[in-house]
Amino acid sequence: MVNVADKQSLKSFVDTSSAEIKYFESLREEAKKLLEIRPFPTKRDEEWRFTDLKSISNGYFKPIIKDQLDTALNLDEYHLPEAKKSRLVFINGHYSQGHSCIEGLPDGVIVDTITNNENHPKVKEYLAKITNYTDDVFVPLNDLSFNDGTFIYVPKEVEIEQPIHILNVFTNMEVAYFATPRVLFVGEMYSKATIIEEHVGLAQNQYLNIPVNEFRLYSGAHVHHARIQRDSKQATHISRPIAMLDAHAEYHSYTICLGAKLFRNEPRVIQNAAEVDFTVDGLVLIDGDQIADTHSIMDHRYSYGNSHQLHKVVVNDQAHSIFNGKIFVAKDAQKIDSFQENRNLLISDDAKVNTKPQLEIFADDVRCSHGATIGQLQDEEVFYLQSRGLTEQKSRELLVYAFALESVESMAVKSVEELLLREVIAYTNRD
Amino acid sequence: MLEIKNLHAVVEGEELEILKGVNLTVNKGEIHAIMGPNGSGKSTLSKVVSGHPEYEVTEGSILFEGEDITEMDADERAHLGLFLAFQYPVEVPGITNKTLLREAYNTIARANEREELDPLEFEDYLVSKLDVIEMKDEFLNRSINTGFSGGEKKKNEIFQMAVLNPRLSFLDETDSGLDIDALKIVSDGVNKIANQDNAIVMITHYQRLLNYIKPDFVHVMMNGKIVKSGDISLAEELEANGYDQMQKELA
Ligand SMILES: Nc1ncnc2c1ncn2[C@@H]1O[C@H](COP(=O)(O)OP(=O)(O)OP(=O)(O)O)[C@@H](O)[C@H]1O
Ligand SMILES: [Mg+2]
């Protein structure tokens, strides 16, 4: 067992983790070294001002070994009909072959574990190559201890029609545990894929979920990436999804945050050539004492890039949403068109929001719009609906539902939209 | 049907009276018109009657079918059969007309222990009401009033009235913003809805509307009170002489 904040303990954590690991030794060694020198973030760090990690830094989380997994677990209710033969399932961070099903994908496509593809040239070339978050401990933690992982490879000009469902489920164990899901995606030129990455807590227990995603898109590759976070409301989820795009690539991601006691998401998209198009949208629905913190970076390094970020948030009870959206435009990156908006809806008096756009623009011919709104439901709208006979409660519910709907409709997969509609309804009429 | 007695109202938490002792009785089968200068309190009266929480009644009462509704929530008043066609219909992005109307219709049906309609039955019912004001069915699936032209918003209010079939409707300046053809269509619609069992109170600045929908009574509202009541000739008098003249006569 480890306490990740305590040096001594972190070291023993590192030792226990690496004991099980036989793949990617040099990566693990490197990660160990970084963990020894890098401090654990505290509220004194500018980037962590509003988000207190004490709940995890004081907690003990145990690694789970594969033998402890319940292979008989029935997960039928989590299956997506569109992805019935394109599903990878991970239980507490470990690949579960019995629950997964990959059949009938186009020739040359790989949807498998990373460890099964240890010697694949693209794994060698890209694993842990674009995730260079500075001074960070979470990527090294994942580097050190991810098990199996997901490797998706889409060859040149191949389009995968069915969405690929990466289902991470978390079960109730006797102890608080940690999991480090990993995804490496490589899309060759003009390939096309839809990825549904889901995190589901099956019980309301404590665990620490530290997923890392690396998406490498070559020229003209096109990816739609939906991320659905329905972790246990006692869980801590710290996400590092990163994408690197070559010319004409398109990467559209939509993160939906419903669960976790503490959710910290740090999406990054790197424009690695001229003319790319990307989306980093988010929908956050939180209540109770949940904290949802998004720190994103849209990194325009070359000219002619379009980026879009609509981050919609509904906060109830004492919940707290934090948004920090960085847009970087490098000196010679001209003709960038970047849109950022953070819209917050507070539906209780104690709900809290901190929002901060952060633009660092070194080119002169760019268009960057950014805005943030923090509001309550409009009384006139509530009255209008109520005057038609709807109860006040129902009127408020419908208005919250309407606020969230736009994000739900960008999911592109029918059953995922339906799933989210059910979640939105459950959120709005929970009592 | 409706009995407003010595109604005084202020904006919630403020001192200034907007309604200063309104008296008005409306019986079933009747059509009333209220006219009056800008800021005289016509819209406020309609909102207070429909239960807008922004206003507080400080004196007097509102009886509907003999029941005191002065303290009731807006939705409960709607369940009893009150309806307000807004002077400025509110845009509600993300909720379609159809969703609102189905929810409203069924909530009212439930409250009155009437049969609810399932989605298919409701669809048929809704489509059957489109003709009342020659509304295109594409409006059903659009967000409430969102991006509607001024005239379309007003038409949409009357469409909702046709669907919900209220017992008493306040129509607040439904005519303003409508072109000649639309005014005729909407007036025809209102005439089709009006019957011996319901009642309508129209608020307007123009006699033009009263040529299409004939009122049984015309009231003049000034400075938070109804100062004069009569028949249609009162509207004609106002059209000819204006409010100033009337004010002088009253003083
Ligand atoms: N919520 C409010 N806050 C402050 N003042 C208000 C409010 N509502 C109404 N008033 C004031 O009360 C008075 C009456 O307003 P009301 O809208 O009822 O007038 P009206 O007769 O409908 O006018 P119009 O013919 O221009 O529609 C006005 O002076 C208005 O400014
Ligand atoms: Mg008015």
Mean predicted confidence (pLDDT) in A152-159: 98
For residue range B96-151, what is the model confidence (pLDDT) as tens digits?
A: 999 999 999 999 999 999 999 999 999 999 999 999 999 999 999 999 999 999 99
For residue range A211-250, what is the model confidence (pLDDT) as tens digits?
A: 999 999 999 999 999 999 999 999 999 999 999 999 999 9
B96 touches chain A (CB under 8 A): no
Q: Alpha-carbon distance A283 to A285, whole Å?
A: 7
Decide which of A57 and A294 is more confident: A294
pTM, two decimal places: 0.84
Mean predicted confidence (pLDDT) in A20-35: 84
For residue range A263-307, what is the model confidence (pLDDT) as tens digits?
A: 999 999 999 999 999 999 999 999 999 999 999 999 999 999 999
Q: Of A337, A403, A328, A394, which Cα lies nearest the Cα of A365?
A: A337
For residue range A176-225, what is the model confidence (pLDDT) as tens digits?
A: 888 999 999 999 999 999 999 999 999 999 999 999 999 999 999 999 99
* pLDDT attached to residue A2: 46
Q: Alpha-carbon distance A320 to B236, whole Å?
A: 61
Structural domain contains residue A332: no
Give the mutation candidate from A343, A386, A408 for the B interface (greatest B CB count, under 10 A): A386
* pLDDT attached to residue A108: 97
User: Pairing mode, if any, of strands B82-85 and B92-96?
Assistant: unpaired
Question: Going by CA atoms, what residue is nearest to atom 6 of ligand 1?
Answer: B11
Q: Identify the domain boundary among A244, A266, A288.
A: A266
Whether the per-residue pLDDT at A15 is higher than 80: the answer is no
Length of chain B, in residues: 251
Residue B40 Cβ < 6 Å to ligand 1: yes
Q: Of A392, B98, A403, which Cα lies nearest the Cα of B106?
A: B98
Answer yes or no: do A194 and A46 share one domain: yes
Q: Which residue of A has its CA nearest to B89?
A: A384
Helix A414-428, helix A392-408: angle, nearest 10: 150
Q: Across the interface, do A385 and B92 touch by the CB < 8 Å criterion?
A: yes
List, in order, residues 6 or more apart from A311 with CB less than 8 Å away: A281, A282, A284, A294, A323, A325, A340, A341, A342, A343
Q: Alpha-carbon distance A7 to A19, whole Å?
A: 18
Residues of B in contact with A391 (CB under 8 A): 75, 107
Structural domains in chain A (count): 2
Q: Of A313, A311, A87, which Cα lies nearest the Cα of A196?
A: A87
Q: Across the interface, do A388 and B95 touch by the CB < 8 Å criterion?
A: no
For residue range A363-396, what is the model confidence (pLDDT) as tens digits?
A: 999 999 999 999 888 889 999 999 999 999 999 9
Smallest Cα distance from B247 to chain A, Å: 34
Answer yes or no: do A252 and A395 share one domain: no
Q: Across the interface, do B79 and A387 touch by the CB < 8 Å criterion?
A: no
Task: Give the B window 179-238 contacts with A, CB below 8 Å.
Answer: none
Q: Out of B52, B94, B104, name the one closest to residue A383 (CB).
A: B52
User: Pairing mode, if any, of strands B143-144 and A110-113?
Assistant: unpaired
* pLDDT attached to residue B207: 87
B99 touches chain A (CB under 8 A): yes
Q: Identify the domain boundary among A266, A295, A322.
A: A266
Q: Across the interface, do A392 and B73 touch by the CB < 8 Å criterion?
A: yes
Decide which of A33 and A101 is more confident: A101
Whether the per-residue pLDDT at A35 is higher than 90: the answer is no
Residues A75, A89: contact at Cβ < 8 Å? Answer: yes
* pLDDT attached to residue B230: 94
Structural domain contains residue A180: yes
* pLDDT attached to residue B54: 94
Instruction: Give me the percent of chain A exceeding a pLDDT of 90.
Output: 74
Q: Ligand 2 centroid to B172 CA: how many Å?
A: 7
From residue B147, alpha-carbon distances to A239, A281, A388, B115, B183 in Å are 39, 25, 20, 34, 20
Answer yes or no: do A216 and A68 share one domain: yes
Per-residue pLDDT tens digits of chain B, which is 251 residues long: 999 999 999 999 898 999 999 999 999 999 999 999 999 999 999 999 999 999 999 999 999 999 999 999 999 999 999 999 999 999 998 899 999 999 999 999 999 999 999 999 999 999 999 999 999 999 999 999 999 999 999 999 999 999 999 999 999 999 988 999 999 999 999 999 999 999 999 999 988 899 999 999 999 999 999 999 999 999 998 888 888 888 888 87
List, in order, residues 6 or more apart from A154 with CB less than 8 Å away: A109, A160, A186, A187, A188, A191, A192, A193, A221
List, in order, residues 6 or more apart from B194 with CB less than 8 Å away: B31, B200, B213
What's the pLDDT band for A1 if we cut at 50, 70, 90? very low
Q: Identify the domain boundary among A266, A290, A318.
A: A266
* pLDDT attached to residue A75: 97
B78 touches chain A (CB under 8 A): yes
Q: Ligand 2 centroid to B137 CA: how many Å?
A: 29
Residues of the domain holding A215:
7-266
Q: Across the interface, do B164 and A388 touch by the CB < 8 Å criterion?
A: yes
Q: Alpha-carbon distance B25 to A29, whole Å?
A: 87
Q: Out of B52, B94, B101, name the one closest to residue A406 (CB).
A: B94
Residues A58, A5: contact at Cβ < 8 Å? Answer: yes
* pLDDT attached to residue A281: 96
Q: Across the interface, do A391 and B107 touch by the CB < 8 Å criterion?
A: yes
Q: What is the mean pLDDT of chain A?
A: 91
Structural domain contains residue A368: no
Smallest Cα distance from A10 to chain B, Å: 49
What's the pLDDT band for A36 if we cut at 50, 70, 90? confident
* pLDDT attached to residue A3: 46
Q: Alpha-carbon distance A353 to A348, whole Å?
A: 12
Mean predicted confidence (pLDDT) in A154-167: 98
CB count, 10 Å around CB of A157? 12
Mean predicted confidence (pLDDT) in A92-112: 96
Q: Which fold has domain B2-250?
A: Rossmann fold (3.40.50)
